[in-house]
Amino acid sequence: MSTPLKIAVAGLGTVGAGTLKLLAENADILRMRCGRAIDVVAVSARERGKDRGVDLSGVKWVDDPLALLDCGADVIVELMGGSEGAARALVEGALAKGTHVVSANKALIAHHGLALAKLAEDNHAVLAFEAAVAGGIPIIQSLRDGLGANRFSRIAGILNGTGNYILTTMQKQGRDFDDVLAEAQALGYAEADPSFDVDGIDAAHKLAILTSLAYGVPVDIASVHIEGIRSISAADITHARELGYRIKLLGITEMTSAGVLQRVHPCLVREAAPIAAIDGAFNAIHLEGNAVGRVLLEGAGAGAGPTASSVVADILQIARGAHYYPFTVKSSDMKAVKHAAIADMTSRYYLRLSVKDEPGVLAQITAIFAKAGISVQSLIQHDHTPDTPARIVMTTHDTKESAMQQALQQIASLATVLEAPQMIRMESL
């Protein structure tokens, strides 16, 4: 009979407890699929007496997660989170000893992925992090194995469930951002400090990891252009619908002639695009490969069950004896790559302007566009009362980002423009 795989778990929050529960509930099928038992030998968390809905009898408890390094585990499962502190020390310590690591920690991988990958390779250990990106969607295994024969030109995804939940609720109920965010916080869907989710930081961590996996380049979170959704209004949602679009917060990485371009920002996507139909807290990832063409993977982006599913999938692979490079290629073969600036990209744009109702205002704006070489594709002006500003909504033909930004600065400086112009990029998917 095969020797059981011994694992130790650091962090018993939602995902940690969900992982232990899944390992217990599906022990029989997991054993059949990998040919050996998976035994939890030790755990560590902040509150020993907390009821987590899982049976910890017979499992060694340690208060200091670093003590897990000495419990004889074959695999350390790190579910604490954070790019520094105990999480980093535990992962580095395990890999240095040749102990396999499974992690759901996107911040740790995004900031220290290359160094950790080299440490794993030098010590013949596996570093696996399927759960770090898109919850229950098997995107990392897909890039490494199922779609590994492809060259990828572009990956675009809804990578944050909280942001997608807020935009979906705004779209369905016609409410503004602040109102929906407050409700999401009250319901526990959003954190008290929601900046990681609504400002695009969480999505940027995940996108940087996907970029490294897709192109075999070092993880570079600093090169991701990041914008969040705080500026999106109910009016923008309404105007997008009038134009046949929906607004989504997307993380996009693509190989351009100027280098790899990584960007996280709101986008208008056509209502007919499959990704536009992904609502609520769900995630979706659109991939374009030279052999397979277009593929869309959809699923729950967070939660105990979906994320635990990805954690246990990594454990299962290790139990089977799988061994692979963390980022699909050897860390020493990763080549530094030029990162393109968003100023050099070309896109179509949606613009919303609040202006004084005076003769010549539109002529001023179109003159600025004409000088910048920007061609207007459509224009909408709604009726308004004498007491309210006039609202102009425009979309453009393909335009260079730098030209658009320069034009917006000039438009914002006009005395007839009453607030900062709202600009959202339009993406074809």
- Catalytic positions: 206
User: Which one-letter amino acid corresponds to residue 58?
Assistant: G
Cross-strand partners of 101: 76, 127
Separation CA 140–CA 314 (nearest Å): 10
Helix 14-25 × helix 27-34 angle, to 10°: 70
Separation CA 380–CA 394 (nearest Å): 6
What three-state secondary structure class fits 46?
Answer: coil
Say if residues 39 and 22 touch (Cβ distance below 8 Å): no
Provide the CB-side half-sphere exposure for 406 (13 A, CA): 14
Beta strand 259-270 pairing with 422-426: parallel
Separation CA 330–CA 114 (nearest Å): 10
Helix (H) or strand (E) holding 312: helix 304-319
**Tokens matching residue 110:** 């995004």
Separation CA 378–CA 275 (nearest Å): 24
Helix (H) or strand (E) holding 16: helix 14-25
**Longest alpha-carbon distance in the chain:** 86
Going from the C-alpha of 403 to that of each of 31, 342, 399, 408, the distances in angstroms are: 59, 12, 7, 9
Separation CA 187–CA 280 (nearest Å): 14
Burial 116-133 (b: 16+ CB within 10 A, else e): bbbbbbeeebbbbbbbbb
Render 180-242 in DSSP notation, one character per residue: HHHHHHHTTSS-SS-HHHHTSHHHHHHHHHHHHHHHT----GGGEEE--STT--HHHHHHHHH
What three-state secondary structure class fits 85?
Answer: helix
